[in-house]
Amino acid sequence: MSQTNPFEIDLDRRPANYQPLTPLSLLERSAGIYPDKTAIIHGSQRITYRDFWQRSLRLASALNRRGIGRGDTVSVMAPNTPQMLEAHFGVPMSGAVLNSLNIRLDGPTIGHILEHGEAKILLTDTEFAPVIREALAVSGKDLLVIDIDDPEGEGGERLGGLDYEDFLKEGTPDFEWIMPEDEWDAISLNYTSGTTGNPKGVVCHHRGAYLAAMSNPMMIGLGSDSVYLWTLPMFHCNGWCFTWGVSAMGATHVCLRKFDPATVFRLIEEHGVTHQCGAPIILNAMAHAAEEVKPSFKSKVVIATGGAAPPSPVIAALEPMGFEVIHLYGLTEVYGPATICAWQKSWDDLDLEGRASKKARQGVVYPSLNGMRIGDPETLEAVPADGETLGELMLRGNTVMKGYLKNLEESEKSLKDGWYRTGDLGVMHPDGYIEIKDRSKDIIISGGENISSLEIEETLYRHPQILEAAVVARPDEKWGETPCAFVTLKDSSAETNAEEIIQFCREHMAHYKTPKTVVFLELPKTSTGKIQKHVLREKAQAL
Amino acid sequence: MSQTNPFEIDLDRRPANYQPLTPLSLLERSAGIYPDKTAIIHGSQRITYRDFWQRSLRLASALNRRGIGRGDTVSVMAPNTPQMLEAHFGVPMSGAVLNSLNIRLDGPTIGHILEHGEAKILLTDTEFAPVIREALAVSGKDLLVIDIDDPEGEGGERLGGLDYEDFLKEGTPDFEWIMPEDEWDAISLNYTSGTTGNPKGVVCHHRGAYLAAMSNPMMIGLGSDSVYLWTLPMFHCNGWCFTWGVSAMGATHVCLRKFDPATVFRLIEEHGVTHQCGAPIILNAMAHAAEEVKPSFKSKVVIATGGAAPPSPVIAALEPMGFEVIHLYGLTEVYGPATICAWQKSWDDLDLEGRASKKARQGVVYPSLNGMRIGDPETLEAVPADGETLGELMLRGNTVMKGYLKNLEESEKSLKDGWYRTGDLGVMHPDGYIEIKDRSKDIIISGGENISSLEIEETLYRHPQILEAAVVARPDEKWGETPCAFVTLKDSSAETNAEEIIQFCREHMAHYKTPKTVVFLELPKTSTGKIQKHVLREKAQAL
């Protein structure tokens, strides 16, 4: 209607009203409000918010004095320790980009990442000296290596000439930390492990990290009084951005170098833990822990999981112990969690199976994103919300990565259509909740029918003797492919066999979907605990 | 260190990873997750999230068909009704800017706002027909006037030819709502009432409104199960952005055309209200309500207030009824709340006066802002954090307005120095909490000493017979100025007098600060309930 828009005249951005969104300022805020509160618990160590902030400033300052700044990469190889949290703030506060390394990777792969990611400095926990020594040899890079000698660790060789604590002394807590020039500036570089080929470097920006740091606490109900236990690796999408989010709320981090159920239950009791996150394998281990290590007290812990739906036996085991399981879904490319199975009050009265089947769905989109679609992979059109039509999950919004570092081809493939293509296949239910059925390549096509390997796995998990299960396609002359199940039993002496398991499946799902083959073995896993389906696929082909 | 920054190559913004931040998409999200949940309660009406969303879409569509779009202003004159909530989404979803009018203003002032704000369409509740008729006559504008005939209202003349419900029928819920082209685009235009001169039009943007909608629920602990009672006018900084924030969480709005304590207590009980906001006068009225209307049940309601510190007698009266009082501070220019007196656990054990004096402080900055300073008004340098040195409160960040509409001079004055200058004077305590002492012009300078009128008022409020108090400067030959107190007694037949009140002050504060004059009267107030100090100043001069 208007010829001139009065709202665009003399109303430009200025420093007073426009500042780059960044999670870094959120730690500064928490340190200002709760200087004497415990920010980090690690063994017998207690680090206040004042010290957390000042140590992060020292780190930023020391990096700055060593010539590190905008566009430089600083890599870190560490388990869930205070130094890792400090790196999440101190590194970007120097203007640099944080590259957290997957501590389960092998030397050559890490060497490749250091090279591809153009690391200038490496902070490394002495536990990983052997693999880092190999990585450095492979990469041939002349890196400044700073050793983190964590008193809670088991020691290990020092590789560089500089100790982390000494390095901090090179810096000053009076350092004026470097705001990003633009909130689109990179804050982190995370390599996805994938299952084959060379890893891809996911570049995240300050804007998205701020929004994730605000959204995550909101989604799982984490506040300033919360106590968050680190059962999720911090190297995993920056700990699903909870490294920043827990600090943003002024809550307390409880660090943990190595997961085991007994330690977890002890820490929950000792520190009044209220929240944790973890891969399904973590929940599984807690659910099936030996009775003598299970807590005698009733916890009140929200535990968020993602990567696969929490199976009903796990929910059934955890709920009586006082755990509330929240199902999230995400990927490194979307800063960790991107959807949540938001609970509906009307589901409270369902029985265990009913609740588990609701909770198995990946749910609804995060408030930091503003588009979610199950779309036809060709046309991108949304498929009907009928809970049956399979399509690809696509996401859009401000917690989607900038792209892959130095890999325009892959960036284009996944981002060019106006949507981030997750590569995951799923359905849209009539109530607007999505449910992932499979990775594109995990669909089994048998007699022309698409069969979801995930669906078969869910059925297998309901079998009382099965601890873990994975299903892949096995080539078949008649059907093209048939489902082949690999299972680990809870007790290897259990009285079951392939026929009995197939029969169990026939009773619980459509006959054409039941596995034709069942193999008993210990499932092969990646360094992040993902089942290596490509290994199983090779096995199935060789059968 | 780097010559080229690999994080800036081939990693540009695209639709998949960059979308304008706007609160509008948050309602779409809530409607998707909770379609059948009650979004709005108004008298006997219940509006689900599906209907809230679809009615907002219809409104946007109808506006669009009438030629409204980007840069156009749509004004609305309504109390806290569902239509007002719909306007907060439907108007910007058409691309237009929402101008909520202060329903307590007089006709000529509204006429001036309609003209200055370039309103194209006016939605108006029939209750306000007389004042709007006058406003239209004054402005001489040929506006499309749409009458809202709320069944919960008391009726009134229709001014336009078009009824709101009929207007909605012109639109369609299939409308593709208009995303802002840029998150810096204007979403709302709010005129500050000020106390003198012509009103200033504060322009807010989508980015800030999104951040406020995310921050406010976080600050007062509002979640999807919450029930929010509208005791704060929605025209007041868009209801401190809770219009958007409550909807963002999928919580329930309880509308309220007109405040009175008995109704409020009844609605709290009926609907299980968990949260409300209100000016001090609201809390005061609830605290001093007649015993027979006070709730017999124990509520569990968080009540956030701002504009002045909640006095200890109000806290003392509200807490036993189950109210938790949160003290916020803000201004229209910063989207409502900008600071919060974040509670520290160590304060729990203080006695009432101790807790009230902690709570009287305006506190710490919101996470949507990233700078707060008590600065020297000349040099802008931060004053010492000694709890004594007076300076001007300055704010910086992403919930600061774009500026004043068509008023570059005022925009410059308040925004040019890299900070938004609030004009409020306060101190920074050693613990990093700010405390407002006065508006610049409310400082009394007596014998060369700065005296905070607020401090005297706080002392007066502790007097058992005083209901309300305001202190201004009275010209004095000897001292330059002396403090002059205007007070309203709880009971006009109370046995007190000026001398007794002055003596009370001398016992509770430094002698030089005690009022030299005490006047008993009903305090004059603005349409938003602010005490009109300029009127009192004139009275003091004439004494």
Q: What is chain B's alpha carbon radius of gyration, rounded to the nearest angstrom? A: 24
Q: For residue B89, is it within any domain?
A: yes
Nearest chain A residue to B179 by CA: give it: A370
DSSP A365: E
- What integer pLDDT is reported at residue B328 of this predicted model? 96
| Interchain CB distance below 8 Å, A15 and B396 | yes
Average pLDDT over residues B100-124: 93
Cα–Cα dist A273/A516, whole Å: 45
Average pLDDT over residues B143-152: 96
Q: Which residues of chain A make contact with B225, given a CB cutoff of 8 A?
A: 345
Q: For residue B320, is it within any domain?
A: yes
Residues forming beta bridges with residue A147, ordered by sequence position: A124, A163
B257 has a pLDDT exceeding 70:
yes
User: Which of B11, B71, B208 has the CB atom closest to A403's CB atom?
Assistant: B11
Residue A182 in contact with partner chain B when CB distance is under 8 A: no
> Are A394 and A372 within 8 A, CB to CB?
yes
Please indicate, yes or no, whether residues B424 and B460 belong to a single structural domain of this protein. no
Nearest chain B residue to A23 by CA: give it: B367
Nearest chain A residue to B71 by CA: give it: A5
Q: What is chain A's alpha carbon radius of gyration, rounded to the nearest angstrom? A: 24
Last residue of a domain, one of B439, B469, B501: B439
Last residue of a domain, one of B153, B184, B215: B215
Amino acid at B433: Y
Q: For residue B483, is it within any domain?
A: yes
Q: Which residues of chain B make contact with A365, given a CB cutoff of 8 A?
A: 29, 32
Q: Which residues form the domain of B432?
A: 259-439
Cα–Cα dist A153/A257, whole Å: 8
Structure token pair of residue B218: 């976080």
Mean residue pLDDT of chain A comes to: 92
Please indicate, yes or no, whether residues A465 and A364 belong to a single structural domain of this protein. no
Cα–Cα dist B175/B158, whole Å: 28
| Interchain CB distance below 8 Å, A11 and B118 | no
Structure token pair of residue A474: 């096995």
Nearest chain A residue to B204 by CA: give it: A7
Which long-range contacts link A474-477 to residues 24+ away (Cβ below 8 Å)? A474/A516, A474/A517, A474/A540, A474/A541, A474/A543, A475/A540, A475/A541, A476/A446, A476/A516
Buried b (16+ CB within 10 A) or exposed e, B228-238: bbbbbbbbbbb
HEC profile for A450-478?
A: EEEHHHHHHHHHCCCCEEEEEEEEEEECC
Greatest mean pLDDT among A289-303, B15-29, B180-194 = B15-29
CA dist A70 to A56, A96, A209, A380, B439, Å? 17, 5, 17, 37, 42
Cα–Cα dist B18/A397, whole Å: 6
| Interchain CB distance below 8 Å, B67 and A1 | yes
Structure token pair of residue B237: 């900084």
Among A134-148, A515-529, B109-123, B318-332, name the one with the lowest average pLDDT: A515-529
Q: What residues of chain B, 442 to 501, have a C-beta less than 8 Å from chain A?
A: none
Cα–Cα dist B202/B330, whole Å: 14
Nearest to B118 by CA among B134, B89, B94, B96: B96
Phi/psi at B7 (5° precision):
-80, 0
Q: For residue B240, is it within any domain?
A: no
Of the two residues A395 and A312, the one the predictor is more confident about is A395
CATH number of domain containing A304: 3.40.50
Quote the Cα angle for B429-B430-B434, to 5°: 25
Model confidence at B60, pLDDT cuts 50, 70, 90, reads very high
Nearest chain B residue to A413 by CA: give it: B16
Average pLDDT over residues B487-501: 87
A441 has a pLDDT exceeding 90:
no
- What integer pLDDT is reported at residue B440 of this predicted model? 67
Q: What residues of chain A, 191 to 250, have a C-beta less than 8 Å from chain B?
A: 203, 208, 214-215, 217-218, 221, 223-225, 248
A466 has a pLDDT exceeding 50:
yes
CA dist A310 to A280, A325, A341, Å? 6, 8, 11
- What integer pLDDT is reported at residue A1 of this predicted model? 43
Please indicate, yes or no, whether residues A434 and A482 belong to a single structural domain of this protein. no
Residues forming beta bridges with residue A75, ordered by sequence position: A99, A122
Among A256-270, A503-517, B85-99, B209-223, name the one with the lowest average pLDDT: A503-517
- What integer pLDDT is reported at residue B298 of this predicted model? 79
Q: Which residues of chain B make contact with A1, given a CB cutoff of 8 A?
A: 67-69, 71-72, 120
Among A240-254, A440-454, A499-513, B49-63, name the one with the lowest average pLDDT: A440-454
Q: For residue A381, is it within any domain?
A: no
CATH number of domain containing B518: 3.30.300.30
Among A439-453, A474-488, A491-505, B263-277, name the one with the lowest average pLDDT: A439-453
Q: What is the pLDDT of residues B345-362, one digit of tens each?
A: 999 999 999 999 999 999
Phi/psi at B38 (5° precision):
-70, 120
Mode of pairing for the β-strands spanning B200-205 and B252-254: unpaired
Nearest to B201 by CA among B125, B100, B126: B100
Q: What is the pLDDT of residues B416-438, one digit of tens each?
A: 999 999 999 999 999 999 999 87
CA dist B233 to A520, B43, B80, B101, Å? 66, 17, 6, 10
| Interchain CB distance below 8 Å, B364 and A29 | yes
Structural domain count, chain B: 3
| Interchain CB distance below 8 Å, B1 and A408 | no
| Interchain CB distance below 8 Å, B418 and A16 | yes
The sign of the dihedral angle between the CA atoms of A253, A254, A258, A260 is negative
- What integer pLDDT is reported at residue B543 of this predicted model? 86
- What integer pLDDT is reported at residue A139 of this predicted model? 87
Q: What residues of chain A, 327 to 366, have a C-beta less than 8 Å from chain B?
A: 342, 344-345, 364-365
Tell me the count of A-B CB pairs closer than 8 A. 194
Cα–Cα dist A492/B134, whole Å: 87
B443 has a pLDDT exceeding 90:
no
Among A214-228, B160-174, B368-382, B508-522, name the one with the lowest average pLDDT: B508-522
Nearest chain A residue to B415 by CA: give it: A16
Q: What is the pLDDT of residues A145-178, one digit of tens each?
A: 999 999 999 999 999 889 999 999 999 999 999 9
Residue B309 in contact with partner chain A when CB distance is under 8 A: no
Cα–Cα dist A302/A347, whole Å: 18
Cα–Cα dist B532/B543, whole Å: 17
Structure token pair of residue A534: 């490509």
Count of residues for chain B?
543
Cα–Cα dist A271/A230, whole Å: 12
- What integer pLDDT is reported at residue B437 of this predicted model? 86
Please indicate, yes or no, whether residues B314 and B372 belong to a single structural domain of this protein. yes
Residue B379 in contact with partner chain A when CB distance is under 8 A: no
Q: Which residues of chain B make contact with A35, given a CB cutoff of 8 A?
A: 431-432
Average pLDDT over residues A103-112: 88
Q: Which residues of chain B make contact with A185, given a CB cutoff of 8 A?
A: 7
User: Which of A364, A371, A417 has the CB atom closest to B33's CB atom?
Assistant: A364
Q: For residue A239, is it within any domain?
A: no
Residue A18 in contact with partner chain B when CB distance is under 8 A: yes
- What integer pLDDT is reported at residue B194 of this predicted model? 45
Residue B398 in contact with partner chain A when CB distance is under 8 A: yes
Compute the half-sphere exposure of residue B476: CA atoms within 13 Å on the CB side of its CA: 18
Sheet holding B38-42, edge to edge: B45-48, B38-42, B252-254, B227-229, B275-278, B301-305, B323-331, B336-340, B364-365
Please indicate, yes or no, whether residues A167 and A297 belong to a single structural domain of this protein. no
Cα–Cα dist B240/B216, whole Å: 8
Render B212-266 in DSSP notation, one character per residue.
HHHHHHHHHT--TT-EEE--S-TTSHHHHTHHHHHHHHT-EEE-BSS--HHHHHH
Mode of pairing for the β-strands spanning A38-42 and A252-254: parallel
- What integer pLDDT is reported at residue A193 of this predicted model? 58
Residue A535 in contact with partner chain B when CB distance is under 8 A: no
| Interchain CB distance below 8 Å, B67 and A397 | no
Cα–Cα dist B321/B340, whole Å: 23
Model confidence at B3, pLDDT cuts 50, 70, 90, reads low
Phi/psi at B479 (5° precision):
-95, -5
Residue B259: how many other CB atoms lie within 10 Å = 20
Model confidence at A240, pLDDT cuts 50, 70, 90, reads very high
Mode of pairing for the β-strands spanning B480-489 and B517-520: parallel
Nearest chain B residue to A28 by CA: give it: B370
Please indicate, yes or no, whether residues B423 and B498 belong to a single structural domain of this protein. no
Q: Which residues of chain A make contact with B214, given a CB cutoff of 8 A?
A: 214-215, 218, 367
Greatest mean pLDDT among A211-215, A388-392, A478-482, B472-476 = A211-215
Please indicate, yes or no, whether residues B502 and B528 belong to a single structural domain of this protein. yes
- What integer pLDDT is reported at residue B305 of this predicted model? 95
- What integer pLDDT is reported at residue A197 of this predicted model? 52
Of the two residues A135 and B3, the one the predictor is more confident about is A135
Residue B373 in contact with partner chain A when CB distance is under 8 A: no
B473 has a pLDDT exceeding 60:
yes
Nearest to B260 by CA among B239, B236, B281, B275: B281
Average pLDDT over residues B529-540: 86
Residue B116 in contact with partner chain A when CB distance is under 8 A: no
Nearest to A326 by CA among A428, A220, A216: A220
Classify the phi-psi angles of A390: left when phi > 0, otherwise alpha if psi is within -120 to 50, otherwise beta. Answer: beta
Last residue of a domain, one of A439, A468, A489: A439
Q: For residue A168, is it within any domain?
A: yes
Please indicate, yes or no, whether residues B393 and B411 belong to a single structural domain of this protein. yes
| Interchain CB distance below 8 Å, B11 and A120 | no
Compute the half-sphere exposure of residue B510: CA atoms within 13 Å on the CB side of its CA: 10
The Cα of B233 is separated from the nearest Cα of chain A by a number of Å equal to 25
Q: Which residues of chain A make contact with B398, given a CB cutoff of 8 A?
A: 17-19, 21
Residue B367 in contact with partner chain A when CB distance is under 8 A: yes
Mode of pairing for the β-strands spanning B275-278 and B301-305: parallel
Q: What is the pLDDT of residues B360-416, one digit of tens each?
A: 999 999 999 989 999 998 999 999 999 999 999 999 999 999 999 999 999 999 999
CA dist B422 to A197, B33, B491, Å? 57, 39, 36
Amino acid at A255: C
Average pLDDT over residues A278-291: 90
User: Which of A15, A72, A221 has the CB atom closest to B418's CB atom?
Assistant: A15
Residue B371 in contact with partner chain A when CB distance is under 8 A: yes
Please indicate, yes or no, whether residues B49 and B175 belong to a single structural domain of this protein. yes
Instruction: Give me the torsion for CA of B325, B331, B337, B339, rounded to 10°.
Output: -90
- What integer pLDDT is reported at residue B198 of this predicted model? 59
CA dist B491 to A91, B169, B286, B464, B465, Å? 63, 53, 17, 11, 7
Q: Which residues of chain A make contact with B32, given a CB cutoff of 8 A?
A: 364-365, 432
User: Which of B2, B400, B431 has the CB atom closest to A72's CB atom?
Assistant: B2
Please indicate, yes or no, whether residues B493 and B370 belong to a single structural domain of this protein. no
Q: Which residues of chain A make contact with B223, given a CB cutoff of 8 A?
A: 221
Q: For residue A530, is it within any domain?
A: yes
Q: What is the pLDDT of residues B67-110, one digit of tens each?
A: 999 999 999 999 999 999 999 999 999 999 999 999 988 888 89
Cα–Cα dist A230/A232, whole Å: 5
| Interchain CB distance below 8 Å, A396 and B19 | yes
Average pLDDT over residues B273-299: 90
The Cα of A416 is separated from the nearest Cα of chain B by a number of Å equal to 7
Q: What residues of chain B, 25 to 64, have a C-beta less than 8 Å from chain A?
A: 25-26, 28-29, 32-35
CATH number of domain containing B265: 3.40.50.12780
CATH number of domain containing A153: 3.40.50.980
Please indicate, yes or no, whether residues B347 and B489 belong to a single structural domain of this protein. no
Please indicate, yes or no, whether residues B432 and B464 belong to a single structural domain of this protein. no
Q: Which residues of chain A make contact with B224, given a CB cutoff of 8 A?
A: 342
The Cα of A500 is separated from the nearest Cα of chain B by a number of Å equal to 41
Render A311-345 in DSSP notation, one character per residue.
PHHHHHHHGGGTEEEEEEEEEGGGTEEEEE----G
